[in-house]
Structure 1
């Protein structure tokens, strides 16, 4: 295994998850600006300490990631429930152990591998090409003093990758395991379901004032005013910058020359045809069709007008127009037809051509040669393209100037003023209102950032998919406040009725299932007054039927149920509580086995490799003295 590990050190793989914890250590920072000069230790491995700065930097980054994802649902309490703090410290410990093991095995990260990893990172590219300026700026934003510090960290990550790959890749897969997985993955079922929809019951449900008030008391935490945020924003928009950019005539002409393929108009040909359709696997019908098309060709060769024969003979909808198809470019028609048309001269009539549609005779009427649009026609298009490209570069440069200013100023307004950028104010505004806001409504990513940002936090500049750069500063957050029953009453009655309808739907489905033995889906549908749904042949992963009623929960219940049987309990779906019935079970098709064998082998090896690595990691941990200082961790 040692030799395998050394060999694996010469290749690199995607960032892997240490100990099953999703932390990207490629984004590590350095320094101690979170904790000032006070350094405590959160854990030790064989007497070597992991300090609080190292932990806090990664932990805060994780909290920021969760805040962006969860938005207003984010809270420190939720992070405690998710175990983020424990996952962070366990990952740091695992990383320390892995680096020690990699060093013992003599694993190294070769310079070409490191260069490929860095330059292949799309975050460091502009227009698909490695951008040194962007690389320096982004690594600095990550918290690295220099790119050399970042590259040192990446070398360590490459060593860990090689070690993990060597251990996971040593797993062996037996043919019997592939067969078992194939049978499991490719078995199919035909599924029927009858769903009791709460919406069909809600009109019959009345909620008294006492019930509504009790519901409100029991669920008061759900009735709060919306979170409102007040923001400052700076937008660097390449489209606006492009309006003031002048393009030299020489650049326009050079772009025109390079774009000639892009702005050319391809050759077009106009043709007419006669089609006699044939049915697949009908040899007698095919012989009749050939005789018919041969007779048509004989009439044309004898001097009859092509259009007249087409009107009299063709089975195509173009028959009344004499078979006229109009102009089209190469590649538009089916291959056999296309090849014939684009090998003919104007005025030619083809021999009989067979395609998947039937037998054709083609007449080529006219050829329009390929042309290149003149510069005058595409000038505005070229100017706009060049202006926007320059504007994007300028926007990026301005964003870096703003980022540098943010490091020296104490607010977005001050930083923006120092680089002559306009600041706009937004809010107070709620999440629903933000959808209608000119800036926030234009991008869902911005809305997440707006409602996850906290006053006093570091201000980040975000590059959007449309190439705009946006900086948002949270000025104020008006946290949700509990509503009174009077203010929430209308929604309370709606929610209480919906809940009661849901309860009754589940109860009805449960009772019907209890009496379903010996009944088929049609019987249950009649008893319940609800519709029956029936799937096509569907695999465990849902392949085979994309019907929206066929949810993963229904499929999962069906694959835990035998043929001719009902699911043990109703399945909650968006359409209500579904009673699931397996109408048929179809074993995996042997014809697919050879085709899927290698991909299944890879999946099994990957799964076994992950288990192997986890066990190896546990063994390594048992060999070391690991201590976690919970008292220090509790302060985070």
Structure 2
């Protein structure tokens, strides 16, 4: 496709791509081409192959830019999105959760059978597959490899950025809170304190006297551990300051902040003696994994020739295990919690042997031995699932009745009182369109409905996964437009990217259908395993 559009990636563009790759940056700068080549060599990545892959990335970006160059977002679209993102509601609501609903009686077997017949498709037995497999345990393979002191030293020398202790900055702060009513007054006070500091008055004493955060009584000293509690503005300012600098008052959302940088501990590298055992473990695992991978490749190659994994495995002294019948998205084996064996079984034909792939315990080679096709279930096979499904349905219907009764009672009671009398969970919250609703979770349908209500209006009972909810809008809070200028480019970029992604996905789906492209899951998994194995 790129060829048809006469797109090329020049050597200079590839070079820029490499220089700006995050994995080759340290302290915001490119590590240099000598170290770049050393890293590739250490990870056994061919230089030409890697740079060819970067060339493809450049072409891909150019191709996508050409395809999507006509996609634009209007100012109105950006403004509408901003308003939706920022508008809020004060609401009260009650939840009827099915976990609190009691049924009058247990369903009979006839009722369960009737439910089963009506919903047979949802109780279908999925396709299941069975196989034999060998896992070459990487931990056990560690005992067969050695790591020398010189290898540990070389790794430490070539990868010092991994063992860097970042620079630390100690900060003191004077923090003055304000409300909308007294903002100007507090701003003036902050300027007065800043003037006193410039005249040489003691920061610690002024902090004890005026600062309104938890460290004020200690002279404003926050030490080195403040990043989780300070604002982005403050963190950015601290990084710009020199030792003993005092910042101008910084206006935050609800306070003014004056900062002093009191100590800098320079960045350093952890000494070899301190990290030697850690490096040894990394190198042992790397060598053991490569040995296990090689044995897996040899085993798979011979097993494919003989068409019998168990036969070759026994000759080579590997333990062969047999899976139960597994579903593609079903319960994984204990030694493979990620479900790689399940996934790979469903990529094979009967009697075919897989390439080696990574599992939690080690390198696995797998042979598919049998397939049970998807089929309609017999009632007895899925009775417990039918019971669970039917009881959930009955409870949700009862929850719906309770929710409608609650709504009817609100005409002569408050929602809070009606909820308490019915022993239902009651909430009073401020909710934004993109917020998760406590007790319900993220629910676009419910949020769309409640944002369409007028102040004081009560919703119909609204369904969610585990029950029903009734809402009343107390107050509509219009969007705060103060951040519009700062936020609009971020929003524009976000909407453009979303629209471009939708366009690209649709384009390739159409192109894939025209060319009858098939996705090779086995090849994909092999590449993923190979890449993950390097880290």
Could you tell me which of 405, 425, 429 is aligned with 2:321? 425
Q: What is the CA deviation profile of residues 320-363 of structure 1, one whole-angstrom value per residue up to 9, with x for unaligned ones? A: 9x99x999799999899x99xx979xxxxxx9xx9999999999
Structure 1 residue 505, shift from structure 2 partner:
2.0
Alignment of 1:160-309 (within 5 A): 165-219=65-119, 229-258=129-158
Structure 1 residue 532, shift from structure 2 partner:
2.2
1:535 aligns with 2:435: no
Q: What is the CA deviation profile of residues 595-626 of structure 1, one whole-angstrom value per residue up to 9, with x for unaligned ones? A: 22223333555577689999999xx99xxxx9
The 1:169/1:258 distance shift into structure 2, 3 A limit, reads: closer
1:503 aligns with 2:417: no
Q: Distance in 2 between matches of 1:368 and 1:600?
A: 38
Structure 1 residue 503, shift from structure 2 partner:
1.9
Q: What is the CA deviation profile of residues 187-215 of structure 1, one whole-angstrom value per residue up to 9, with x for unaligned ones? A: 33334332222333334234244434433
The 1:213/1:427 distance shift into structure 2, 3 A limit, reads: same
Aligned to 1:387: 284
Aligned to 2:474: 583
Q: Distance in 1 between matches of 2:104 and 2:142?
A: 61
Q: What is the CA deviation profile of residues 133-190 of structure 1, one whole-angstrom value per residue up to 9, with x for unaligned ones? A: 9969xxxxxxxxxxx9x999x79x958x856643531245443343334334433333
In the superposition, the TM-score normalised over structure 2's length comes to 0.61
The 1:536/1:462 distance shift into structure 2, 3 A limit, reads: farther
Aligned to 1:571: 462
Aligned to 2:45: 131
Alignment of 1:338-487 (within 5 A): 378-402=275-299, 404-405=301-302, 408-413=305-310, 420=316, 422-428=318-324, 437-440=333-336, 442-450=337-345, 455-456=350-351, 459-464=354-359, 468-478=362-372
Q: Distance in 1 between matches of 2:94 and 2:307?
A: 62
1:521 aligns with 2:419: no
- Structure with larger Rg: 1
Structure 1 residue 234, shift from structure 2 partner:
2.8
In the superposition, the TM-score normalised over structure 1's length comes to 0.53
Q: Distance in 2 between matches of 1:326 and 1:605?
A: 42
Where in structure 2 are there 5+ consecutive unaligned residues?
23-38, 205-210, 517-535
Q: Distance in 1 between matches of 2:291 and 2:480?
A: 58
1:597 aligns with 2:488: yes
Q: Would you say the 8 A contact 1:168–1:606 is kept in 2? A: no
Q: What is the CA deviation profile of residues 49-98 of structure 1, one whole-angstrom value per residue up to 9, with x for unaligned ones? A: xxxxxxxxxxxxxxxxxxxxxxxxxxxxxxxxxxxxxxxxxxxxxxxxxx
Structure 1 residue 546, shift from structure 2 partner:
6.1
Alignment of 1:135-146 (within 5 A): none
Q: Distance in 2 between matches of 1:317 and 1:581?
A: 38
Moved more, 454-463 or 557-566: 454-463
Q: Would you say the 8 A contact 2:92–2:473 is kept in 1? A: yes
Q: Distance in 2 between matches of 1:208 and 1:198?
A: 20
Aligned to 1:108: 6
Alignment of 1:603-614 (within 5 A): 603-605=494-496
Structure 1 residue 421, shift from structure 2 partner:
7.1
Structure 1 residue 538, shift from structure 2 partner:
0.8
Q: Distance in 1 between matches of 2:140 and 2:62?
A: 47
The 1:184/1:114 distance shift into structure 2, 3 A limit, reads: same
Q: Would you say the 8 A contact 1:455–1:477 is kept in 2? A: yes
The 1:409/1:513 distance shift into structure 2, 3 A limit, reads: farther
Q: What is the CA deviation profile of residues 16-41 of structure 1, one whole-angstrom value per residue up to 9, with x for unaligned ones? A: xxxxxxxxxxxxxxxxxxxxxxxxxx
Q: Any idea what SS the aligned residue of 1:243 has?
A: helix
Q: Distance in 2 between matches of 1:361 and 1:164?
A: 47
Structure 1 residue 576, shift from structure 2 partner:
0.5
RMSD after superposition = 6.4
Where in structure 1 are there 5+ consecutive unaligned residues?
1-8, 13-101, 137-147, 301-313, 345-350, 629-636
Q: Would you say the 8 A contact 1:268–1:330 is kept in 2? A: no
Q: Any idea what SS the aligned residue of 1:108 has?
A: coil
Q: Distance in 2 between matches of 1:319 and 1:185?
A: 36
The 1:597/1:453 distance shift into structure 2, 3 A limit, reads: same
Q: Would you say the 8 A contact 1:173–1:604 is kept in 2? A: yes
Q: Would you say the 8 A contact 2:156–2:272 is kept in 1? A: yes
Could you tell me which of 435, 440, 447 is aligned with 1:555? 447
